[in-house]
Amino acid sequence: MAELEADHDHQHQTTKPKKHVAVLPSPGMGHIIPLFELAKRLVVFNHDIHVSFLVINTDEDDSAARDQYLHSHSTHPPGLDVVDIPPVNVSDIVRDDMLILTRICVMVEESLKSLKSVLIKLGKPEALVIDLFCTGAFEICSELSIPVYSFSSPSTAFLTFSLYLPTLDREVEGEFVNLPEPISIPGCSPIRPDDLLDQVRNRKNDQYKWFYLHMSRLPLAAGILVNTWEDFESVPLKAIREHSFFLQLPTPPVYPVGPLIKQDEPSSSSDVECLTWLDNQPADSVLFIALGSGGTLTTGQLLEMAWGLEMSQQKFIWVLRKPDDADASSTFFNVGSDVNDPKSYLPEGFLEKIQGVGLVVKSWATQVAILRHPSTGGFLSHCGWNSTMESITHGVAIIAWPLYAEQKMNAAMLTEELGVAMKPVKGPGETVVRREEISRVVRLLMESEEGEIIRSRVKKLRDSARRAVDNGGSSHNSLSCLVEKWKNEIKP
């Protein structure tokens, strides 16, 4: 009898194996972080899901920061495996003059040549979640009968533009940036030509062709996950679900599952110094300045920023990188490992002048820990979507300093639609924001009544973000709905 019971138990266990989902980001920390946070949430959120997180490896990206993040023990719940795709050498096909997206797409295309064998070795997962620039996986997964879901790491507003792009491409001659009027996306806020993302500013280059190719494949997805929540982007979400334009595409079901943000990260000795310094500052008194994993300032702008911060007389922590006059995203592929001695490029005497008021940190800082610290009262940010989600989730008001990609679109949304950010302006004919303007905006955010109003708006959104991911919240329910779909789908 005991043997029969044991056999019955064994049968019971084997009839219900865990559902297996694979997740595939393209290179770059801005793409890896939200998808890894999604992978973690899936296994913690539902113990019947096992996730394989696939990592692209090439000789072109410096993987130190990535490996530290992906392989740190604190970030690994059971049921989540990090799987390296066989490394590829792309040195013969990647050129120094390639724009950032072209470089990413070439790296992905070469790496996906082994995707089929990786998925077969993993036992053909129930689903594959890819980021926007991995659409070569559609064809491969079609052969294996694996449904593919797209993950949009930027905003839903960016997603609506991306879905509209093939129509825009067909209807507009010449360059989009030369259009006399803002671009009207059906059911959404119009986009000024000046705020368009870098990837569509020149239709003749390879970057535009790659971007167009990947975005035109979005309707092939079984669903689209977005790092946002219902109350935060209700207008573009409503447009995607209800406007006849998006319904006719047809647009796949959209699942808002955010905010997905980094919870914790390993601390270095400079991080400990930062946090100890913050412990001794009054609440909401410190401005945090950080321009994302890839962002750099020009030499002229860095000098104006330094003197503007000093003039403002506000407390600050500045994550500083060597200036680059050619490329605002120059550290995208070597996060935290740039050669960096602030004394060699900061104005003479600056570090002495700011002693006790400001703190300069080289290359990289533990952004999440600084943003959630009670002394942090403002964030001068490049407005990348991950940083935007982190800032709002921790209730920190923003000074918008967009640099590249879709950051101008995000900055416009944060300042004009949501009223949670301020934006400094350049004078007529100026190539840099002057120190007087930087000082004015910093003081406005940190000291004025207007800054106080912005802060209270951000704190309301912070509470809304927390509700969205809590049990029964909109993003929690959206993810539940998707997981149930995966669990009920029968493998062919």
**DSSP assignments along 168-187, one per residue:** HHHH--S-GGG-SS-B--TT
- 17-260+469-488 topology per CATH: Rossmann fold (3.40.50)
pLDDT at 290: 97
**269-447 shares the fold of 17-260+469-488:** yes
How far apart are alpha carbons 17 and 44 in whole angstroms? 17
pLDDT at 339: 62
DSSP state, 417? Answer: I
Q: Active-site residue 476, yes or no?
A: no
Buried-exposed string 311-332: b where 16+ CB fall within 10 A, e elsewhere: ebebbbbbbbbbbbeeebbbbb
How far apart are alpha carbons 163 and 146 in whole angstroms? 23
The amino acid that residue 146 corresponds to is: I
Active-site annotation holder among 20, 31, 382, 476: 31
Look at 66-75, 126-135, 417-426 and tell me which has the smallest mean pLDDT: 66-75
Say which residue the tokens 């309707």 belong to: 219
* Alpha-carbon distances, residue 289 vs 108, 237, 358, 375, 415 (angstroms): 32, 31, 11, 14, 18
How far apart are alpha carbons 458 and 418 in whole angstroms? 9
Whether residue 149 is predicted with pLDDT greater than 50 in this model: the reply is: yes
Query: Which is nearest to 330 in space by CA: 361, 362, 359, 363?
Result: 363
Q: Is 283 helix (H, G, I), strand (E, B) or coil?
A: coil
How far apart are alpha carbons 180 and 190 in whole angstroms? 13
pLDDT band at 15 (very low <50, low <70, confident <90, very high): very low
- Alpha carbons within 13 angstroms on the beta-carbon side of residue 477 total 7
Say which residue the tokens 């770059």 belong to: 28
Q: Which residues pair with 19 in a beta bridge?
A: 49
Task: Return mean pLDDT, the chain.
Answer: 91
**Spans of all domains in the chain:** 17-260+469-488, 269-447
Two tokens, residue 10: 């064994």
Residue 133's CB: how many other CB atoms inside 10 A?
A: 23
Q: Active-site residue 131, yes or no?
A: yes
pLDDT band at 7 (very low <50, low <70, confident <90, very high): very low
Tell me the whole-structure pTM to 2 decimals: 0.93
Query: Which is nearest to 318 in space by CA: 261, 380, 276, 260?
Result: 380
pLDDT at 10: 42
Residue 425 sits at φ, ψ, to 5 deg, of: -120, 150
Two tokens, residue 287: 């401005």
| Superfamily designation of domain 269-447 | Glycogen Phosphorylase B; (3.40.50.2000)
pLDDT at 9: 43
How far apart are alpha carbons 302 and 112 in whole angstroms? 39
Is the link from the previous residue into 266 a cis peptide, with omega within 30 of 0? no
Q: Which residues pair with 130 in a beta bridge?
A: 24, 150
Look at 54-58, 106-110, 306-310, 362-366 and tell me which has the smallest mean pLDDT: 362-366
Active-site annotation holder among 20, 50, 131, 231: 131
